Amino acid sequence: MAVLVLDDVLPLDLGIPAQVFIAVPGDPYELILCGRTAGSVRTAAGFAVTVAAGLEAVRGADTVVVPGYAPHLRELSADVLAALAGAHARGRRLVSICTGAFALAAAGVLDGRKATTHWKYAHELAARHPRVSVDPRVLYVDEGQVLTSAGVAAGIDLCLHLVRRDLGARTANQVARSLVSAPHRDGGQAQYIERPLAPEAPGVTLASTRAWVLARLHEPLTVPQLAAHAHLAPRTFARRFVTETGTTPLRWLLTARLVRARELLESTELAVDHIADRCGLGSPSNLRLHFRRALGTTPTAYRAAFAPTARPGFDRAHAPATAAGPSAT
């Protein structure tokens, strides 16, 4: 995995992939920092970082990560754009964090694709690159070979999503715990919350209700039941839930059920019908339906890819994409 460090790189964005991927048990990722050339690269904060390699690392990597940088200050050089376009043509996985999407867009690899970046720069990205479908609302976008994220914390979410996609839900959750991070948020959640919490309940959140739900995923829960646990009217509960999490109660609940199903597929030999029952989806056909809609694969195929016995020969770059899972916090 090559992390391409561009001039005026944002230091926090640069640290995200290293922090996440070196925390993966067993060291399955080999990271190398590279730039246009080996040596010193200036950051947006004024200090410099040293990279070990030049663009040859991009050409040899199976995954290339482009952290955020200051795209409005200068155009990227032709050799950098050619290296990114070449990696895309060879079928390599390209990932951007925050304004790193400007580099992918300039290389042409986002043309005809949906993408995101920090909401403050989304309009500029769309104006510069009209062939890119820019969504400023989401945390990250997984287009298979090309993945883009919003700013900073969303970069952590995207990197955890990659771990989940490559190595499964249990490993991604282990990494999230080691980073004291929420276990992988849904990429479709909002980047920022437009409405504050209701003033009549300062300091009160629905975290306890979400934790209560996670302990009862085998039950046929409804929004009125969740609202009753939170001692709120259903409409007030639903509104506050979206305010806190950026997603609806039902979408969050379905994602939680699918996360539980993935964990059981990875860690147990339970039959699919038993797993469907334990995660509250009722029947194997219902589990298969939602699994295919959300993940683009079947429970059986997912188990074959992510069960421990399947790991040694697993092709990480071509693993089935997975949706993100919620946490109580």
Phi, psi of 115 (to 5 degrees): -150, 170
pLDDT, position 202: 42
Output the tens digit of pLDDT for each of the chain's 329 residues.
999 999 999 999 999 999 999 999 999 999 999 999 999 999 999 999 999 999 999 999 999 999 999 977 778 999 999 999 999 999 999 999 999 999 999 999 999 999 999 989 999 999 999 999 999 888 899 999 999 999 878 999 999 999 988 998 888 888 888 886 655 455 554 444 333 333 334 445 788 999 999 999 999 999 999 999 999 999 999 999 988 887 899 999 999 999 899 889 988 899 999 999 999 999 999 999 999 888 888 999 888 877 665 444 333 333 444 444 455 55
Quick check: 149 and 140 in contact, CB under 8 A? yes
Quick check: 326 and 256 in contact, CB under 8 A? yes
Minimal CA–CA distance to 31: which of 69, 7, 67? Answer: 67
Q: Which residues pair with 3 in a beta bridge?
A: 33, 65
pLDDT, position 220: 92
Quick check: 11 and 108 in contact, CB under 8 A? no
Q: Which residues pair with 95 in a beta bridge?
A: 65, 147
Minimal CA–CA distance to 109: which of 152, 137, 144? Answer: 144
CATH topology assigned to domain 2-177: Rossmann fold (3.40.50)
Which CA distances in Å does 236 have to 123, 225, 233, 265? 33, 13, 5, 36
Quick check: 141 and 164 in contact, CB under 8 A? no
pTM over 0.95: no
Minimal CA–CA distance to 262: which of 328, 216, 217? Answer: 217
Instruction: For the chain, give every domain's residue range.
Output: 2-177, 196-245+247-329
Quick check: 92 and 63 in contact, CB under 8 A? yes
- Let me know the angle formed at the C-alpha of 274 by 268 and 278, rounded to the nearest 5 degrees: 85
* Burial call 175-209: b when 16+ CB within 10 Å, e when fewer: bbeeeebbbbbbbbbbbeeeeeeeeeeeeebbeeb
Compute CA 138 distance to the chain's CA centroid, rounded to the nearest angstrom.
10
CATH topology assigned to domain 196-245+247-329: Arc Repressor Mutant, subunit A (1.10.10)
**Token pair belonging to 265:** 């597929």
Angstrom distance (rounded) from CA 108 to CA 28: 30
Rg (CA), the chain: 20
Minimal CA–CA distance to 241: which of 326, 149, 153? Answer: 326
Angstrom distance (rounded) from CA 163 to CA 28: 10
pLDDT, position 185: 57
Pairing of strands 146-149, 140-142: antiparallel
pLDDT, position 134: 95
Compute CA 179 distance to the chain's CA centroid, rounded to the nearest angstrom.
15
